[in-house]
Structure 1
Amino acid sequence: MRVFVTGASGWIGSATVDELLAAGHEVVGLARSDTSAASLDAKGAQVRRGDLDDLDSIRKGAVTADAVLHLANKHDFDNPAVSNQAERAAVQAIGDVLAGSDRPFLLASGVAGLAQGRAATEDDRSPFQGPDSPRGGSENLALEYVDRRVNTVSVRYAPTVHGDGDHGFIAALVAIAREKGVAGYIGDGTNRWAAVHRSDAAQLTRLGLEKAPAGTLLHAVGEEGVSTREIAEAIGRGLGIPVASVSPQDAQQHFGWISRVFAMDALTSSTRTQELLGWAPSGPSLIEDLDAGYYFRH
């Protein structure tokens, strides 16, 4: 297939591009910088210049593709409305282009906030509706296009997609611990984060593109839940600093913007995803990656 990929040079996107190319697919990646374009070109992917705000370039990429994989996100945590609006606009632009074609459209989503007090499953529909909700309600918007003959599939990634070179949530927690001199967790630290290794996430994304039927919700989750206290303890070991509880009342002051995410209980199952796609995550665990020292080099 000729696959148009937004976010092609990102953390998940770059690994997924490698997976697609290795499987014999033709990849056209959206690149907003010369560095990103050069990286894609070196891999043997084609380049389309543009970014998440360049809806015309996104539409042109989708028009000529056999499938679209939308992984780009602004991740503006200081002004989430900007990210939400851009995400919704991009999903609508892609959906409108693909309408009536039965072509695959995979988009990135997340598992956080799907369920409370139990493991979220692929049966749980996203509670986020409308342009002002997280990610601009993009998952539910994209699924509306199934009735317009778009093969929409949502890939819900764990809060942490970890590995050597990760600059996401775990790296942010390490930076905070280094600055504060203590590796903190909120409350009793029993709330859990689902996790997946980057290589497993990339393989799942490729399998979803090749196999998943329209309307499928996939969970890119290798570990159902790692307690935030375990995460803090691994960070403490890596930095050689003490580990301590931070009260919920003080979490915002201690952790800043990430406190909202770190306080969530994101226990999540991927059993049905694994059965549907024959996917068997085999990469290192989150704690193994932390203990390997990748997050403590700087």
Structure 2
Amino acid sequence: MTVTDIDSPALMVPRYPRREGSTYPEVLLMRVFVTGASGWIGSAVVPELIGAGHQVVGLARSDAAAAALARAGAEVRRGTLDDLGILRSAAGESDGVIHLAFKHDLAFSGGFESAAEADRRAVDTFGEALAGSDRPFLIAAGTLGLAPGRVATERDGQADGPVTAHLAGGPAKRLANAHAAIALAGRGVRSSVVRLPPTVHGDGDHGFLATLVAIARAKGVSGHPGDGSNRWPAVHRSDAARLFRLALEGAPAGSTLHAVADEGVPVRTLAEVIGRHLGLPVAAVSPEDAAGHFGWLAGFLGVDGPASGAHTGELLGWVPTGPGLVEDLDQGHYFATASA
């Protein structure tokens, strides 16, 4: 389904004229408020939206973020996730909200529960602002840990889906935030959750994959936990950004979507590609040595967490076109960044 299929009073957004020269099909164009707009995902989502003719208002907590948004052609709203009044007013003035921000620095420094609680306050605030409007609200979440050992689908991790009792603490609270966002569909919000795999890759990435390259360089060996058969799903950043746009324009209320292109690349394969590019040996790292070798990444790297985006593709016509994870590694930019 596309937004042109839902041209009805139920979706109360204005129709703006299509931008001259645009190659996109005619859609209901929106004024979209985006949190995390200058981050790794947001900085791809913003130009994707603007390129399709939408107007973007981005939340910026720093001068650098504000400048980056202005250069991208977005309107800037200064504030943080803790400024609930700013979030409420910006959402109320918008035709839709994409919530990408999360306090990752706090989460990775031991404050995951506090970060998840701040996220919940933001979700509740957006819900209050959008209730009864039938306007779209998208929240980012993750696939990691949904169904260890098997391919996770969009049904996993839902409030009425397969149980994820293995999650606790901050991860459980963040999953509850996604449930709260989905529940807003019952309050007149066209809410959706877009789950991202642990690796959203591309040129300029400084996340898990770049960290794995840096560890290999520092240790002099490209390691993988155990036999390396555990699988990581992935998506190119440009494909993830396009899914957020498609979901904004046409996802049904209460949708759970997976931005997954590679269902599961064995970690051993990643170690082999990294070793080949760096000219390093590839070796297994025992469970006892994993924390010392991989540091904070050990807990994530050892998870077998494949995931599928097949249902998402069928629902929205989303077909990933960017390079796969191994192909992107072979393009070389991860190694140029690591040596800079």
Instruction: Tell me the residue number matched to 1:112.
Output: 144
Instruction: Rate the CA distance shift 1:132–1:288 in 2: closer, same or farther, 3 A.
Output: closer
> What secondary structure, in the 3-state scheme, does the structure 2 residue paired with 1:78 have?
helix
Q: Report if the CA contact (8 A) 2:36-2:59 is conserved.
A: yes
TM-fit CA distance, 1:130 = 8.0
Instruction: Tell me the residue number matched to 2:286.
Output: 247
Q: Deviations over 1:17-49 (max 9, x none)?
A: 111001110100001111111111122210000
CA–CA separation in structure 1 for the residues paired with 2:170 and 2:288: 30
Instruction: Rate the CA distance shift 1:225–1:131 in 2: closer, same or farther, 3 A.
Output: closer
Q: Which moved more, 1:145-154 or 1:7-16?
A: 145-154
TM-fit CA distance, 1:56 = 2.0
Q: Which moved more, 1:89-98 or 1:15-24?
A: 89-98
- Which of 321, 325, 331 aligns to 1:286? It is 325
Instruction: Tell me the residue number matched to 2:235.
Output: 196
Instruction: Tell me the residue number matched to 2:257.
Output: 218
CA–CA separation in structure 1 for the residues paired with 2:198 and 2:302: 12
Instruction: Tell me the residue number matched to 1:267.
Output: 306
Q: Which moved more, 1:238-247 or 1:193-202?
A: 238-247
How many residues end up aligned between the 2 structures?
298
Instruction: Tell me the residue number matched to 1:138.
Output: 177
TM-fit CA distance, 1:52 = 1.9
TM-fit CA distance, 1:118 = 1.9
- Which of 193, 200, 205 aligns to 1:154? It is 193
TM-align CA RMSD: 1.6
CA–CA separation in structure 2 for the residues paired with 1:179 and 1:90: 39
Instruction: Tell me the residue number matched to 1:53.
Output: 82
TM-fit CA distance, 1:238 = 2.1
Q: Deviations over 1:186-207 (max 9, x none)?
A: 1110010001001111111100
Q: Report if the CA contact (8 A) 1:130-1:137 is conserved.
A: no
Q: Report if the CA contact (8 A) 1:66-1:104 is conserved.
A: yes
CA–CA separation in structure 2 for the residues paired with 1:130 and 1:159: 19
TM-fit CA distance, 1:132 = 6.9
TM-fit CA distance, 1:134 = 5.0
TM-fit CA distance, 1:285 = 1.1
The alignment-based identity, stated in percent, is 59
> What secondary structure, in the 3-state scheme, does the structure 1 residue paired with 2:41 have?
helix
Q: Report the residue type matching 1:25 in the other structure.
A: H
Over alpha carbons, which structure has the higher Rg?
Answer: 2
| TM-score (structure 1 length as normaliser) | 0.96
What residue ranges of structure 2 are gaps of 5+ in the alignment? 1-29, 159-163
Q: Which moved more, 1:77-86 or 1:101-110?
A: 77-86
TM-fit CA distance, 1:81 = 2.5
> What secondary structure, in the 3-state scheme, does the structure 2 residue paired with 1:184 have?
strand
- Residue 16 (1) aligns with residue 45 (2): yes
Q: Report the residue type matching 1:255 in the other structure.
A: F
| TM-score (structure 2 length as normaliser) | 0.84
Q: Report the residue type matching 1:197 in the other structure.
A: H
Instruction: Rate the CA distance shift 1:21–1:231 in 2: closer, same or farther, 3 A.
Output: same
Q: Report if the CA contact (8 A) 1:118-1:267 is conserved.
A: yes
Q: Report if the CA contact (8 A) 1:129-1:136 is conserved.
A: no
> What secondary structure, in the 3-state scheme, does the structure 1 residue paired with 2:328 have?
helix
CA–CA separation in structure 1 for the residues paired with 2:271 and 2:197: 18
Q: Report if the CA contact (8 A) 2:117-2:173 is conserved.
A: no
Q: Report if the CA contact (8 A) 1:88-1:131 is conserved.
A: no
> What secondary structure, in the 3-state scheme, does the structure 1 residue paired with 2:147 have?
coil
Q: Report the residue type matching 1:78 in the other structure.
A: S
- Residue 230 (1) aligns with residue 262 (2): no
What residue ranges of structure 1 are gaps of 5+ in the alignment? none
Q: Report if the CA contact (8 A) 2:232-2:263 is conserved.
A: yes
- Residue 82 (1) aligns with residue 114 (2): yes
Q: Report if the CA contact (8 A) 1:111-1:158 is conserved.
A: yes
Instruction: Rate the CA distance shift 1:237–1:130 in 2: closer, same or farther, 3 A.
Output: closer
Q: Report the residue type matching 1:21 in the other structure.
A: I
